[in-house]
Amino acid sequence: MKRNLGNIISNARKSKNISQKTLAEKLGISTQAVSKWESGISRPNAENLMKIFDILDIDTSNWFSKRSSPSFHKNTGMGSIRSIYKIGSGPSSSHAIGPERACMRFLKEHNGMDSVKVVLYGSLAKTGLGHGTDKVIKKTLAPIKTAVVFDKNTKVEHPNTMDMTAYRNGALIDTVRVISIGGGDILYNGEPSSTEKTVYDFTSFSQISDYCASKGIELWQFVEEKEGTEIWEYLKTVWKSMKISIQNGIKDEGILPGGLDVQKKAKQLFLAQHIDETSETKENRLICAYAFAVSEQNACGGTIVTAPTCGSAGVLPSLLYYEQQKRDIPDIKILHALATAGIIGNLIKTNASISGAECGCQAEIGSACAMAAAAIGQLFDLAIEKIEYAAEIALEHHLGLTCDPVCGLVQIPCIERNAVAAMRALNAVNLASLLWNTRKISFDSIVKTMGETGRDLLSYYRETSDGGMAKNYNGK
C-alpha cells in the first residue's frame, strides 16, 4: 500500500479526537497549514514532523525507512558560474551579501522614501546579529533612517526571509519580501536576481559529461562555450581577489571582532615550523594557513570571493594558491580549474543548496570541498570521470554536517572547518585518481542525497545557533 503522510496525520489526529485547530495551536502554525498537509498539498518540515509524531503518538518504526523523498527544486537550466563567485564583504553571503543586494535594489526602486523598516525572520533573525546583518542593511540604506527588527518567532517558509517596508512622511509606500537563498543570491518579491538568467541548458553532471564526451571537450571548455570567452576576464578578477585575501590574511594579527576572543592564526600557521617539518606536514600547514587567512579576512568583514559562500570561502583558494606556488602553475590553468569548480558549485546550488540555513554546513563546506576537489582534478588534467568522482567523494563525506556557529559568528567552527575541508579535498582527488573505475555513487546522486539530508535536519542545525556547539559553548 502506498503510504500517504496526509492520511497518516489525519487518521492519527482523528483517532485522538484532536481537531485541526488544536493541532495547529500546539505546533504554533495556522489551521490552513495542517489542512494542506492532510490533503497532500504540502508537507510539514522535519521539525514539525517530529512534533506531530510526538503529539499524535504515531508509530515511526517503519516510517523512516519507507517514506518517499521530499521533492526538491524543479530546474530546467542553470545560471552563470559568476553567481558562485561573488566578490563582496564577509562574513556571510546569505546574511550579509544577500541583504546588501536586496537593499541596493530596494533603494533604486523606492525613490522618495524617508524611512525603512526591515524585519528579519528565521535564521536571519537568529544569527543576523552575529553576522552583522543589521549593520550591512543600515550601511547600505544610509542616509535613510532604517529600523531593523529581529523577529525570531514568526514562522516563515524559507529560513532566510526578510520584509522591507518603505515609508514617506510616516505613510507606508510599499513592502517587499526578500529571500536570501544562499551564496549572496536573492529572490526579490519572488523574482531571481539578474545573474540567474539561464546560461546552461543542462542541470546534471551526467548530461554535461555526456555532452563533453560527444564533443571531445573538457569541462572548462564547456564553460567557455556556454559563458563566452568573457568568462576568463571575470575569473581573472576572481583569482586576483582570492590571492589578495590570502596575502592579507597571512600578514594579519589580532583578535577577530564579535566578542568570542578568537585570535587570528593564519600568520602563526604560515610562519611556524612543525615539530616534524616533513614535506607532508609543511604542505598541510601551508594549505591550512591559506584557508585560515581567507576565513579570518571573511570573519573581519573583509573582501572575499564566495566559493560558493562566504563561510566556506577559504577552501578552494587555499589549495589553488598552494599548488600554484609549489608548481609554478600559470594563471590560465588556475582559471580553468575555477571554471570546472564553478560547474560543480552550480550543480549543487541548482539541485540541492549551497545555503547553511537551508541544508546545514554540508551545503557550504561540503560544496566548497567538492569544488576544490574538482578544481585540483582539473589542475592535474584528470579525466572528467575522475573529476566527477573526486567531487562526489568530497561531498559524500560531508553528509549530515551541521551548521551551528557559536554566537552566530562565522568563526567557530567555520574557520578551522575550511582548513580541514581543504585537506579532505586533496584526499578525495588522490582516491579518485586511483580508484575511479571502482566507484558506485554518481555525483548527481550525492547532490540529491545532500539536499534531502539537509531538508531533514532540524532547524537547530541550520544556521540558527539554537543547537549543537552554539548551544553547548561555555567559553572553554
Residues within the interface to ligand SF4 (CB under 6 A)? 311-312, 356, 361, 364-365, 403, 405, 410, 413-414, 417, 463
At residue 5's C-alpha, the angle toward residues 4 and 6, to 5°, is 95
Q: Please, what is the angle between helix 315-327 and helix 365-379, to 10°?
A: 20
212 pairs with which residues across the strands? Answer: none
Nearer to ligand SF4, 162 or 410 (CB): 410
How far CA 373 is from CA of 51, 167, 390, 424, 444, in Å, comes to 39, 49, 6, 8, 16
Q: How far is the CB of 411 from ligand SF4 (least distance, A)?
A: 8
Q: Which is nearer to ligand SF4, 78 or 315 (CB)?
A: 315
Q: Which residue number, 204 or 312, has a Cβ lying nearer to ligand SF4?
A: 312
Query: Counting Cβ atoms within 10 Å, is residue 163 exposed (0-12), middle (13-18) or buried (19+)?
Result: middle
Instruction: Name which of 174 and 416 has its Cβ closer to ligand SF4.
Output: 416
d(CA 102, CA 108): 10
> How far apart are CB 469 and ligand SF4 at their closest, in Å?
9
The minimum distance between CB 316 and ligand SF4, in angstroms, equals: 13
User: Which CB atom, from 159 or from 413, has the smaller least distance to ligand SF4?
Assistant: 413
Query: How would you label 26-59 residue by residue, b for 16+ Cβ within 10 Å and e otherwise?
Result: ebebeeebbbebbeeeebbbbebbebbbebbebe
| Closest approach of ligand SF4 to the CB of residue 206, in Å | 27
Buried residues in 413-443 as b, exposed as e (16+ CB within 10 A): bbbebbbebbbbbbebbebbbeebeebeebb
Beta carbon of residue 463, minimum distance to ligand SF4 (angstroms, whole number): 5
Residue number, 9 or 401, with CB nearest to ligand SF4 = 401
CB 197 within 8 A of CB 80: yes
**191 three-class SS:** strand
Please give the helix or strand (H or E) that residue 141 lies within, else none. Answer: helix 133-141
CB of 338 vs ligand SF4, minimal distance in Å: 20
Among candidates 199, 116, 227, which has minimal Cα distance to 162?
116
CB of 104 to ligand SF4, least distance (A): 23
Nearer to ligand SF4, 377 or 405 (CB): 405
Shortest CB 241 distance to ligand SF4, Å: 19
Residue 262 beta carbon to ligand SF4: minimum distance, rounded to whole angstroms = 13
* Closer residue to ligand SF4 (CB): 113 or 415: 415
2 sits in the region (left: phi over 0; alpha: psi -120 to 50; else beta) called: beta
How is 272-284 classified by DSSP, letter by letter? ---TT--HHHHHH
Of 159 and 377, nearer to ligand SF4 (C-beta) is: 159
Residue 111, exposed/middle/buried by CB under 10 A (0-12, 13-18, 19+)?
exposed
* 3-state SS track over 75-106: CCCECCHHHCCCEEECCCHHHHHHHHHHHHHH
Element containing residue 165 per DSSP (H, E) = strand 161-168
Task: Specify the residue for cell string 572547518.
Answer: 417
Specify the residue, 174 or 466, whose C-beta has the smaller distance to ligand SF4.
466
Question: How far is residue 259's CA from residue 263's CA, in Å, rounded to a whole number?
Answer: 11
Query: Least separation, in Å, of the C-beta of 238 and ligand SF4?
Result: 20
**Minimum distance of ligand SF4 from residue 419's CB (angstroms):** 12
Q: State which amino acid sits at residue 436.
A: W
Do the beta carbons of residue 312 and residue 368 sit within 8 Å? Answer: yes
CB of 180 to ligand SF4, least distance (A): 13
Question: Is there a contact between 294 and 318 (Cβ–Cβ < 8 Å)?
Answer: yes
| Nearer Cβ to ligand SF4 (33/419) | 419
- Cβ proximity to ligand SF4: between 44 and 130 the closer is 130
